[in-house]
A and B are shown apart, each in its own frame.
Chain A
Amino acid sequence: MPASSGDPYEVLGVKRDASQGDIQAAYRRRAKKLHPDLNPGNKQAEQDFKDLSAAYEILRDEEKRGRFDRGEIDAKGAERADRRYYRDFADAGSSGGAYESGAGFADFGGDDIFAEFFSRRDYRKRGADVRYSMEISFLEAVNGGPRQVTLSDGQTVEIRIPPGAHDGQTLRLRGKGGAGQGGAEKGDILIELRVLPHPFYRREGDDIRMDLPISLAEAVLGSKVRAPTPAGPVMLSVPQNSSSGRTLRIKGKGVAHKNGTRGDVYARLMIMLPEKPDPELKGFVAGWSAGKSYNPRQGMGV
């Protein structure tokens, strides 16, 4: 048993001048004995395996081993972050249907013998839930839509991403999780949605916000422009003399609700000058006398 003495040589049970071959062999011998997933009932195995891994992490690497020998580092430095072992899921029954095998007691009558035992005692235990997370696009979350899911047994079912789904929302596939006991129902599959960001839409509750670029001519003269929305493009009236920052509301084109209505889209206008400087525009503005006296920063006291 590796002790938590912190001395990796002691933990691995090798001499200080052990070769790399000896160290690997010692590590493998102990890992096979101590791996928590191969020792589901041994609570101590997790700590012992962690100590063993930390010790091996130092001794397998000649440089780290040298630094340890010279007292420059201690064994704690090589400890790995805590991990979730398979036994934590399998023992809870939440490994799902995929990894369950009743072959170990098929000769006692398999599940039937247990079913009879449990039904006589009126004992029922619901199967455990199995969790997944799934990334979906911004628009898929806003608009909703169907997805095909194939389970580990080959069965295909359709799930519906509800319109207006939000990040962290969980979809439930009832009765597709771990097996129950005593005739009790199976657990569920839970799929947590992770909504990816969109290049120009931002969501605020049921509303969508975006910056809408417009040309100088559209801003000065006013215009009807094509604007994208999650519900498809719309024609938007830009009033004449619109500054950057003016926000226009497009009703009923935002995040979809279950009842078929939608939130709104707020388009903030952004005046974009031509990508290349335009001599005509430059000449025109230079000769625009009223523009020289207008100070848009007056309200800021400068």
Chain B
Amino acid sequence: MDDRQFARELCIDMNRLHVFIARGWISPLILDGRPVFGDVDLARAALIVDLRNEMGINDEGIDVVLDLIDQLYRLRFALGSLIDALEREGQGG
């Protein structure tokens, strides 16, 4: 989806969306100079909207939360693979 659809889905204005991109919170694909967003971007942006509107976290706080969340999910992915590998090893042996 393009930036207008994306902003509409999130109920945010274009200026706010530019903040999301400028701060590196959301990284859309750029197709011929125009941003294209996927479902993962929409889900991540919805979390950012929640952090701001529902939990009262300011933009500085969002930088920190997202950084920790990205580390957390990467660790979960690594740990999930680790368990998977150990389970397979157990079954194999």
Interface residues of A (CB under 8 A from B): 27-28, 31-32, 35, 37-38, 40-41, 83-91, 93-96, 98-105, 114, 117-118, 121, 123, 125, 130-135, 147-152, 181-182, 189, 191
B residues near A, CB below 8 A?
1-2, 27-33, 36-40, 42-44, 46-47, 50, 54-56, 67, 69-78, 80-82, 84-85, 88-89
B47 engages A132 (CB within 8 Å): no
Contact with A147, one of B31, B67, B76 (Cβ below 8 angstroms):
B31
A228 to B73, CA, bound (A): 54
A84: chain B residues within 8 A (beta carbon): 39, 42-43
B42 proximity list for chain A (CB < 8 A): 84
Given B31, B43, B89, which contacts A134 in the complex, CB threshold below 8 Å? B31
Do A32 and B55 contact each other (CB < 8 Å), given the known contacts A88-B43, A94-B40?
A: yes
CA distance A220 to B43 in the complex (A): 61
- Whether A101 lies near B74 (C-beta < 8 A) is yes
Partner of A83, one of B33, B44, B46, B70: B46
What's the minimum C-beta distance from A165 to chain B, rounded to whole angstroms?
14
CA distance A119 to B75 in the complex (A): 18
**A53 (CB) vs chain B CBs: closest residue:** B54
Closest to A184 in B: B81
Are A150 and B29 neighbours in the complex by a CB distance under 8 Å? yes
Task: For B73, list chain A residues within 8 Å (CB).
Answer: 40, 87, 90-91, 95, 99-100
B79 CB → nearest A CB, Å: 9
A24 nearest CB across to chain B (Å): 9
For B72, the chain A residues whose CB sits under 8 A away are 40, 104
Q: Is the CB of B85 within 8 A of A151?
A: no
